[in-house]
């Protein structure tokens, strides 16, 4: 999906008062002004999603700089969304028309619809199902120390793993979407119908976001919106994933193991290893553990069946099929399709 866009939209006529949000200025030690810049205006939806808009002027004339997550602004969340860049920008502009009292000319409207405007940032995102949140966190923890890219070692900040965090060209970031949705900034979204279903869908999924900035967009020939209909989003993300060295192994945690109390996890690991639990525990403890584990479908009174290896490489994990958009999204009205 398209997760973030920064674009310069041609528009000569709009209500500038609607974009008044103060200024940021700098002064020298004597108090003389050095520079001043108007702050962008945040246009906020009832669900709390916002998009930044500011007036801009250059040799092309007046315009609007749109910066933000249009999918989240349009549909109230960004768990999944459309790959149609032109379409979601067009829908965003149509919704902004009455808010900013925009009066585009026929020529400007035609440019909006055709995607005839420049882009300075585009974020593309997908998710991969790793089975449980514990597996996602295990992947992140291992990749933090056992991977690298042309940018060097990754940086972990607030639960998000960045490759090229400070790069002016491109970056990749990974995180647990389910963990993110527990944060306090999601408190308004939690009140929306369908939020629990979205949280359930995000559970166990590793989020991958590719950030493309101006130099990289120009290098790839993707710096204008009208070329994006021909872009294979999955191929674009996988091409950049291929530039990261991911080789070490991490241990997958089964869904059953993830639900167990720590003391029971130790018991199950010994059982899976083929240990005789009756010789390790007292009769009382053995049958207490058996009774508790039976509710999880595990019977430690019989020998454990040989199981497939639980280890996999970091690369094998991200080479899995992308999760995509669930079939129920359209039926429940939680996706905006341009």
Sorted by where each begins, the domain ranges of the chain are 2-22+39-250+317-331, 255-309
| Strand 2-10, strand 50-58: pairing | unpaired
What does pTM read for this prediction? 0.80
* Strand partners of residue 66: 7, 53
Specify whether the CB–CB gap between 95 and 68 falls below 8 A: no
Mean pLDDT of 92-101: 93
192 compared with 309, residue with greater pLDDT: 192
Task: Look up residue 204 and give its two tokens.
Answer: 């166990």
Alpha carbons 116 and 103: distance in angstroms, whole number: 18
Average pLDDT over residues 55-81: 89
Amino acid 309: pLDDT: 45
Q: Please give the distance of CA 203 from its chain centroid, rounded to a whole number.
A: 13
The yes-or-no verdict on residue 307 having pLDDT over 70 is no
Contacts of 312 by beta carbon, 8 Å cutoff, 6+ apart: 249, 250, 252
What's the rounded Cα separation, in Å, for the pair 37 and 7?
A: 19
Helix/strand/coil percent split, the chain, to 5: 40, 25, 35
pLDDT at position 254 is: 55
The mean pLDDT of 241-247, rounded to a whole number, is: 88
- pLDDT category, 39, cuts 50, 70, 90? confident
Mean pLDDT of the 63-87 span: 93
What pLDDT was estimated at residue 308? Answer: 44
Whether the per-residue pLDDT at 53 is higher than 60: the answer is yes
Partners of 212 in beta bridges: 122, 170
| Alpha helices by DSSP H, the chain | 70-75, 85-100, 106-114, 133-145, 177-180, 195-202, 214-220, 233-241, 255-259, 262-272, 277-280, 283-294, 314-318, 328-331
């Amino acid at each position: 999906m398209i997760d973030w866009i920064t674009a310069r939209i041609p528009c000569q006529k709009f209500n500038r008062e609607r974009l008044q949000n103060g200024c940021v200025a700098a002064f020298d030690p004597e108090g003389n002004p050095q520079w001043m810049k108007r702050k962008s205006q945040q246009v906020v939806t009832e669900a709390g999603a916002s998009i930044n808009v500011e007036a801009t002027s250059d040799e092309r004339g007046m315009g609007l700089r749109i910066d933000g997550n249009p999918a989240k602004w349009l549909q109230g969340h960004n768990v999944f969304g459309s790959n149609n860049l032109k379409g979601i920008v067009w829908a965003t502009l149509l919704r902004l028309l009455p808010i900013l009292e925009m009066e585009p000319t026929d020529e400007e409207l035609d440019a909006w619809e055709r995607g005839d405007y420049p882009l300075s940032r585009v974020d593309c995102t997908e998710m991969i199902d790793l089975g449980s949140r514990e597996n996602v966190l295990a992947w992140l923890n291992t990749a933090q120390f056992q991977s690298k890219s042309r940018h060097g070692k990754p940086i972990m900040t607030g639960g998000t793993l960045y490759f090229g965090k400070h790069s002016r060209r491109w970056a990749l970031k990974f995180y647990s979407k389910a963990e993110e949705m527990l944060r306090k900034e999601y408190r308004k979204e939690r009140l929306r119908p369908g939020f629990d279903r979205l949280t359930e869908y995000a559970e166990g999924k590793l989020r991958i976001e590719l950030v493309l900035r101006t130099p990289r967009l120009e290098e790839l020939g993707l710096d204008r919106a009208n070329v994006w209909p021909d872009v294979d989003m999955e191929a674009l993300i996988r091409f950049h994933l291929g530039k990261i060295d991911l080789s070490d192994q991490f241990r997958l945690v089964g869904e059953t193991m993830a639900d167990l109390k720590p003391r029971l996890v130790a018991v199950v690991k010994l059982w899976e290893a083929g240990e005789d639990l009756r010789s390790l525990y007292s009769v009382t403890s053995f049958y207490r553990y058996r009774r508790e584990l039976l509710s999880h479908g595990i019977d430690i009174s019989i020998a454990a069946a040989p199981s497939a290896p639980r280890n996999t490489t970091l690369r094998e994990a991200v080479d899995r099929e992308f999760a995509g958009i669930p079939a129920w999204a359209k039926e429940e009205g939680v996706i905006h399709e341009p």
